[in-house]
Amino acid sequence: MKGGIKVAKNLEEKTLFSGEKVKVVGAEYEEGMPEGPHQWRKKILGRQEMLKYLQTGERYWFSKEWYGSEKRKTPA
């Protein structure tokens, strides 16, 4: 079948609060243990990317001018 919808192989049947039974996709991860720790900071190649990463983090944690769903009426 060309262009069809792929259906997950690991469907689990769960019960909603209303009592209705539905099928949901179960866990999808590679089995086993990782060979070593994931060095995600090595993906940041240059100084400009590192500065952008740090500025974004500072804005997220310390700014009073947040956007979207992060915006609060009163500071925490």
DSSP assignment letter at 5:
P
Tell me if the pTM is above 0.85. Answer: no
C-beta of residue 26 within 8 angstroms of C-beta of residue 12: yes
Domain membership flag for residue 63: yes
The structure tokens 């740090």 sit at 54
- Domain range for 64 is 43-68
| 24 strand-pairing partners | 12
The residue type at 57: G
pLDDT tens for each residue of 5-36: 677 778 889 999 999 999 988 887 778 887 88
Domain membership flag for residue 2: no
Q: Is the confidence at residue 3, as pLDDT, over 80?
A: no
User: What is the pLDDT of the chain when averaged over all its residues?
Assistant: 77
Work out how many domains the chain is built from and give that number.
1
Rg (CA), the chain: 22
Domain membership flag for residue 8: no
DSSP assignment letter at 24:
E
Domain membership flag for residue 31: no
Domain membership flag for residue 48: yes
Domain membership flag for residue 5: no
The percentage of residues in the chain with a pLDDT greater than 70, rounded to a whole number, is 68
Tokens of 24: 């949901």
